[in-house]
Amino acid sequence: MSALQKNSDTCGIEQEQPGSQINPKVHWVGVALDVPLGDGVFDYKSSDPVELGVRVIVTFGRRKMIGVVVSRQDKPRIDPEQVREIEEVLSDIAPLPADWLRMAQFAAGYYQRPLGEVMLPSLPAPLRKVSAYQGKASRGGPVARMRKQRSPAPLPDLTPDQIPTLNTEQSGAVDQIVACNSHQTFLLHGVTGSGKTEVYLHSALHYLAGGKQVLFMVPEINLTPQFEQVLRARLVHQGGEDVLAVLHSGLSDGQRLREWLRVSTGQARVLLGTRLSIFTPMPHLGLIIVDEEHDASYKQQDGLRYSARDLAVWRGHDRNIPVVLGSATPSLESWHHAQKQRYTCLSLRQRARDVTLPHIRLVDTRRLELQQGFSPQLLEAMGKRLDAKEQVLVFLNRRGYAPVLSCTSCGWVSQCPRCTAYTILHRSGSAARHHHLQCHHCGYHARVPEKCPDCGDADLRPMGRGTQRLEEYLGECFPAARIARIDADSTRLKGSAQKLFAKVHAGEIDILVGTQMVAKGHDFARLGLVGVLNADAMLFAQDFRAPERLFAQLMQVAGRAGRHVAGGEVIVQTDYPEQPVYQALLHHDYTGFARHSLQERESVGLPPFAFQALLTAEAKTIAKALSFLEEAKSVAQNQFSAYMDMAVTFYDPVPLRVVRVAHVERAQLLVESTSRPVLQAFLSAWNPQLGPLANQLRVRCTLEVDPLEI
């Protein structure tokens, strides 16, 4: 066994106890390390007292690592002879504050991860890399190096556009938010274009004036750079040049460190960031805003699978400050909390500008002849809008040229050799060198075969369509129109999404074709018509959240139409116009949709009326994955039967919808309870058994709490 054993008992963060005994000669501490063992906290010693929250360099096994001191104890929990000395105490930044430590501890417990795996990855990379501190290149460490560098040139002083006067609904909402001087969670439910941003801004300015910091979370920043500019322009007048810091995954390590330091020292007062920003220390935090709170990107999908929105509510409660969750289509979880008066609902029912919500038309495609997926109605409406010099948005949530390539004589279809999935035909431009087949699950690339690999026939045809094919077809239909496609392919290069959106905003684009990237948040001024293709694909998905997601997506994309000029229209093509999702959309009826969906969820005991955790297994074969899950289930039923009596229930292990990805086969086991504390207690007991079992059966497993996709 290595010199460092994992602590046998659960090592939480020390609650400061006045007068607690500390050995005068040796100081025993618990250090959280990014190591997937036990609770992620390991014993070390020091001859000097060490503060909680301080970062230290230690040796773990044979490696040097940076860790965070999270506890001090009278004696170590392993043989004192085996405890190593802390090598270096890093004092280039202040100790991580107590509330940050508390939140990390909460997240580790709630999401069932070792504490070190929560803490360390949430810090900017240079602060957790030993090489940044030791060796020739370190030059005093990353913080000192950064201070020596010149600060980036000051940003141009932007004058804000005309600041609108709040309408009655907006000022009512702001009044309630700013009147709150303790914890309260507000659900700002405002229809698309109702001016939620102004409510956030006014509330933020109020807390800034009171000397507080504001955390403003958004699902994505790359897509909405103009929002950052607007925010900056509005804030500098109150908070000075340095007021805004921005954090998202597109920043370099150095940029991220700089922004993190500015916020955690209290210098920058507003942090605009994506989900990772929830873990930034903010000494004067006074308000948290979560825009588009329903957005799935608040949920991290690997490593620590946390929900930044849920942690925001926790943090607000812990710091005793208000939290504002805003959306035109709140998640059913948040809506349910509001219905139960746990959250305070603030409603904006009207659009802020003098326009109504767009008119929605369902085009029944059952008996229609479609041309490349377009109904005659949609094409005609597009023509009219273009003639009137308005912009048109065509929404299809599928990138690539066609979802599969197929042989007309033998029925061969293009399949990924590594996954149970088709390869997608990609074709940007007409030259054959721009054509290839791509797997959207594992990234596999292949050239397009000249003839069928099975029968040799040369007649291979694309089946179905993606955004590239729509773009091509629209070019033929509307040769004079300037068309832009915005999807993950067209925006791969850094800055390209910004450029494309800037062109749309500048009126240099007539038709915008895009995936869900174009659906959110954008305040297009000239967009008159939105056309939605192939929404039905999401209608009958297995996941019980699929209708909720579809409805939110349709409401959001529809909400891009007619925001500044009257007469906006949305055309949704469907084979199932009678479906409740479409009927609710037709009437812009979020409330009705939510009521109906919650009733349904309640009657079958699904979230938010139940709490779930998902155990996923990955193995060489599906049989192995399934047998691990069976074994895990029987461990639960045999060893923890008390929880089964307390309403913890298991579904059967099942293969994932796409079973094999990159040669790995996957299955899942869903656990559910009507009580969150009971589920939590059960998971804490069960989870430590899973790692050893998985090792034994040569399976990789992950446990996810509150999974969004099932």
Ligand X SMILES: Nc1ncnc2c1ncn2[C@@H]1O[C@H](COP(=O)(O)OP(=O)(O)OP(=O)(O)O)[C@@H](O)[C@H]1O
Comparing every residue's Cβ against ligand X, the nearest one is 195
> Among residues 598, 700, 597, 604, which one has the least CA distance to residue 651?
604
Please say whether the beta carbons of 70 and 42 come within 8 A: no
Establish if 624 lies at the interface with ligand X (CB under 6 A): no
* 164 versus 376: smaller Cβ distance to ligand X: 164
Site for Zn ion in 398-427 (CB under 5 A): 416, 418-419
> Among residues 122, 252, 63, 146, which one has the least CA distance to residue 138?
146
* 444 versus 576: smaller Cβ distance to Zn ion: 444
Which residues, 6 or more positions from 536, have their beta carbon under 8 angstroms from its beta carbon?
574, 575, 576
* 422 versus 582: smaller Cβ distance to Zn ion: 422
| DSSP code for 199 | H
Start-to-end CA span in the chain (Å): 39
583/501 Cα distance (integer angstroms): 31
Choose from Zn ion, ligand X, none: what does 190 bind? Cβ within 5-8 Å by kind: ligand X
* 214 versus 419: smaller Cβ distance to Zn ion: 419
Q: Which residue has the tokens 């308005």?
A: 390
Which residues, 6 or more positions from 11, have their beta carbon under 8 angstroms from its beta carbon?
30, 39, 41, 70, 71, 77, 115
Looking at 320-431, list the stretches that DSSP marks H as alpha helix, in order from N- to C-terminal side. 332-339, 376-387
The piece of 158-166, 412-420, 470-478, 668-676 that touches ligand X (CB under 6 A) is 158-166
Establish if 568 lies at the interface with ligand X (CB under 6 A): no
CB of 591 to ligand X, least distance (A): 16
Whether 455 has a binding-site annotation, put simply, is yes
CA angle 545/546/551 to nearest 5° reads 105
Whether 701 has a binding-site annotation, put simply, is no
Cα separation values, 185 from 279, 328, 377, 521, 706, Å: 19, 17, 44, 22, 20
213 three-state secondary structure: strand
Considering only 34, 198, 310, 672, the residue that binds ligand X (CB under 6 A) is: 198
Instruction: Give the distance from CA 302 to its chain's centroid.
Output: 11
Site string for ligand X, 295-334 (x = CB under 6 A): ---------------------------------x------
Establish if 220 lies at the interface with ligand X (CB under 6 A): no
The piece of 83-91, 188-196, 644-652, 675-683 that touches ligand X (CB under 6 A) is 188-196
CB of 663 to ligand X, least distance (A): 41
φ/ψ bin of 522: left (φ > 0), alpha (ψ from -120 to 50), beta (otherwise): beta
Which residues, 6 or more positions from 411, have their beta carbon under 8 angstroms from its beta carbon?
none
CB of 328 to ligand X, least distance (A): 4
Cα separation values, 136 from 59, 87, 139, 142, Å: 19, 18, 7, 13
Choose from ligand X, Zn ion, none: what does 568 bind? Cβ within 5-8 Å by kind: none
* 521 versus 562: smaller Cβ distance to ligand X: 521
31/23 Cα distance (integer angstroms): 17
* 95 versus 521: smaller Cβ distance to ligand X: 521
Site for ligand X in 586-615 (CB under 6 A): none
Site string for ligand X, 502-521 (x = CB under 6 A): -------------------x
Whether 419 has a binding-site annotation, put simply, is yes
Whether 345 has a binding-site annotation, put simply, is no
Torsion on CA atoms 81, 82, 87, 89, rounded to nearest 10:
-90
Instruction: Give the distance from CA 3 to its chain's centroid.
Output: 39
Choose from Zn ion, ligand X, none: what does 375 bind? Cβ within 5-8 Å by kind: none
Using CA of residue 404, residue 405, residue 408, residue 412, what is the dihedral sign?
Answer: negative
Establish if 595 lies at the interface with Zn ion (CB under 5 A): no
Considering only 38, 53, 195, 607, the residue that binds ligand X (CB under 6 A) is: 195
Classify strands 445-447 and 435-438 as parallel, antiparallel or unpaired.
antiparallel
Site for Zn ion in 427-446 (CB under 5 A): 439, 441-442, 444
CB of 663 to Zn ion, least distance (A): 9
Please say whether the beta carbons of 325 and 293 come within 8 A: yes
CB of 46 to Zn ion, least distance (A): 50
Choose from ligand X, Zn ion, none: what does 418 bind? Cβ within 5-8 Å by kind: Zn ion
Establish if 618 lies at the interface with ligand X (CB under 6 A): no
Establish if 418 lies at the interface with ligand X (CB under 6 A): no
Establish if 190 lies at the interface with ligand X (CB under 6 A): yes
539/585 Cα distance (integer angstroms): 14
Across the beta sheet with 88-90, the strand order is 84-85, 41-46, 27-32, 63-73, 55-60, 88-90
Site string for ligand X, 353-372 (x = CB under 6 A): x-------------------
* 358 versus 400: smaller Cβ distance to ligand X: 358
Establish if 170 lies at the interface with ligand X (CB under 6 A): yes
Establish if 192 lies at the interface with ligand X (CB under 6 A): yes
Binding positions are 407, 410, 416, 419, 439, 442, 452, 455
List residues forming the annotated binding site for Zn(2+): 407, 410, 416, 419, 439, 442, 452, 455
- Residues in contact with Zn ion by CB under 5 A are 416, 418-419, 439, 441-442, 444
Interacting residues toward ligand X by CB under 6 A: 164-167, 170, 190, 192-198, 328, 352-353, 521, 523, 559, 563
